[in-house]
Amino acid sequence: MRILVFLISLSAFAQGPEGQRLFVANCSTCHGADAHGARGPDLTSGTFRYGSSAAEIAKNIHDGIGGTGMPAFPLEGDQPRIIADWLLSLTRGADTRIEGDAARGRTLFFGGAGCAGCHSVKRVGKGFAPDLSGIGDQRSVADLARQITSPGENSRSGVQAVEVTTLKGEKMRGLIVTETSFSLFVRDKEEKLHLLSKSDIRERKDLKTLMPKIELAAGQVNDLVAFLKHPEVPEPDLSVWNPAPDFNITFERLRKAAEEPQNWLQYWGDSYGTHFSGLKSITPANAARLTAQWTFQFGGGNVEVTPLVVNGMMFVTGPRDEAAALDARTGTPIWRYRRPLPEYHANCTVSTNRGFAILADRLYMSTLDAHLVALDAKSGRVVFDVAVDDYKKGFSITHAPLVVGDKIIVGVTAGECALYGFLDAYDAKTGKRLWRTFSIAQPGDPARASWAGDSAEYGGGPTWMTGTYDPETDTIFWGTGNPSPDYNGVGREGDNLYTNSVLALDPATGRRKWYFQFTPHDTHDWDASETPVLVDAVFRGKPRKLLLHADRNAFYYLLDRETGEFLLGKAFTRQTWAKGLDEKGHPIVNPNTDPTPEGTYVCPDAGGGTNWASPSYDPNTRLLYIAARDSCATFRTETKKPVPGQPYTGTGDQADASIGGKGVITAIDPFTGDVRWKYTLKEGSTSSGVLGTGGGVLFAASQEGYLLALDSRTGKLLWKYRTGSGMRASPISYSLDGRQYVAVANDAAITVFALP
């Protein structure tokens, strides 16, 4: 081991001049010949936004960084690593020979020296102090030895220890996570986060370090340095999970989310998909006094996130799978997570991320390159990162996962690129896949006969929006999308099961309990991915467990969620494709409504009567609110050979500009299908939904950028605020210190409102 480390060290010396030569030849146009920056950023600070180890920097040089101005430089052999080593040498200085034994150093780090009690290496160890996985690249041998023997004399840049005493006399010591002119966030040795307003601090002492001085022999110091320069550790045992005692969102809490309305614990607010907040401070009498409190900017992109809020922290995701934890009072970032993305099939998806799921002290995020990532909620550190499927095929994931017990449920986009949909369950501890259920009938399933020829092989059926869960019947409900190709049914004759359906699944196995198909043999891209809202109520004199569903095809449906029985259905906005629904809920399709090469005029358009914008069920008014649209289009078709991973839509639709896409915030009596009231917007949205609240105020977000407050019972406009850009997400509500807030994402930001 000592000989190998010695040779690696000597190799680094030899690469210095060569690294500079390669840098000047390939990188100086943007970063300057001395790496101090030109059109691109300064690279001599020792801090790199997308990975600071030599391996990470080399990968970024070779592959580029998606979503930034950094292109790929696929240089030969180890040239990217030679450049990376030279860049790091600019801040760490010339290195010296490594004298110690890395294996003995590892034993010390995790044993007698006690380093792992505060630090981690490659996800092994504690998270109080900085992770040291890449410290060997960033620091020289001499620097590391000095820091071990004389803590605080050469402390790592950006890490500051502090002791504060609050006005209430509470004292805490720890490391500063982030600081602004008005806020201070401190993490103590128990890894507990303290979110402090500076106005609440009586005394503050900045400390040199919290790192204790330990007595080590010279050889032991050398051994620790050798380990830090080239850390090798076993893979962490993910089966061992001890959630933080101060931050533990149990599944029981998720089941009873309505009992803590001060938080917003799930994508839909609760497992049932009601998207309703029980908070009552904002009422029709005072809603006009709402004012903006803070804004968090993502820095561009297509922001469609619905935040989670837990214990005063807001968790958000951005368009390219970046993420952040914010102080929910002020919007101050507590931590950020950035994940370099490969060149995924943008033609098969939309470039966005709609949010997190949370369980215990972990956040779960699905990604555009079809991975499932678990992060530590308090620090943003990666716990695991597993592939759901191969993004190179065209698969991606844009929705928030769903937590069911100890499982994380995710689906995929697959509807426009000759692929097939499925739903997966993963172990929340380890990321191990537990089951997969396809949304296209598989060989051996009698429903396979609903596909002509081999069309099921390219059948679509994306599972691209978050489902809901009923703990009483232990059932997952998940909507499926269009068959493929979207607008051409030639060659896929039949109902095309299980597209455009809601699936009721056993979470233990993924076994299908029942299904209900809303639009058989869809040729208009009317995905059934709209929220399955779960409500218990008396229907026609009998207590029933119900499923409420306003579909993209412009019909509202009421189902028995235990059996899938159709109970009633009625159109809620303009539609011309069906005479109505029969006694089983099947559409009575009008003739000559399929797309043709010349064009067929049909209502609604491909965006649908409603889409994935959240509905809201209010238990007080017993009304279902939806963001509806009034639109029509001319649908055209063409026949094309399927090529997996390439666009396969069978052409598309041209919206009727004379009608436009009028928005209609609609209140429906879910037990009769009757429309109680409507509020009309000039331009409707497929993605900006509604939020009912216990105070009797309904919040709605318009495509053109207005956040609205309406009276839940009458639809009367109470208040409006122009955010400055279009909205593609739905509002939420939470409270802190007894004050109710409303938050919504618009084009590239999140804005939060409250009463004065």
Cα gap 722→357, rounded to integer Å: 29
Residues 6+ apart with CB under 8 A from 425: 404, 407, 408, 409, 433, 434, 435, 436, 507, 510
Q: Measured at the alpha carbon of residue 712, what is the angle toward residues 707 and 717, in degrees to the nearest 5?
A: 50
Q: Pick the catalytic residue: 223, 270, 321, 525? A: 525
Q: Is 54 helix (H, G, I), strand (E, B) or coil?
A: helix
Cα gap 354→319, rounded to integer Å: 8
DSSP E strand boundaries for 340-461: 357-359, 362-366, 371-376, 382-387, 402-404, 407-411, 422-427, 433-438
Per-residue tokens: 52: 């600071």
Q: Are 133 and 231 in contact (CB under 8 A)?
A: yes
Cα gap 240→238, rounded to integer Å: 5
Q: Are 366 and 397 in contact (CB under 8 A)?
A: yes
Task: Please choose, from the candidates 329, 342, 405, the residue with its C-alpha nearest in 3D space to the C-alpha of residue 734.
Answer: 329
Cα gap 40→703, rounded to integer Å: 35
522 assigned to active site? no
Q: Are 605 and 655 in contact (CB under 8 A)?
A: yes
Task: Please choose, from the candidates 663, 690, 700, 686, the residue with its C-alpha nearest in 3D space to the C-alpha of residue 552.
Answer: 686
Per-residue tokens: 392: 């190179």
Q: Are 248 and 360 in contact (CB under 8 A)?
A: yes
Per-residue tokens: 3: 């000989």
Q: Which contacts (CB < 8 Å, 24+ apart) does range 436-443 have?
A: 436/510, 437/503, 437/505, 437/510, 437/511, 437/512, 439/411, 439/463, 439/480, 439/481, 439/498, 439/499, 439/501, 439/503, 440/497, 440/498, 440/499, 441/497, 441/498
Per-residue tokens: 173: 């010591």
Q: Which residues are catalytic?
A: 525
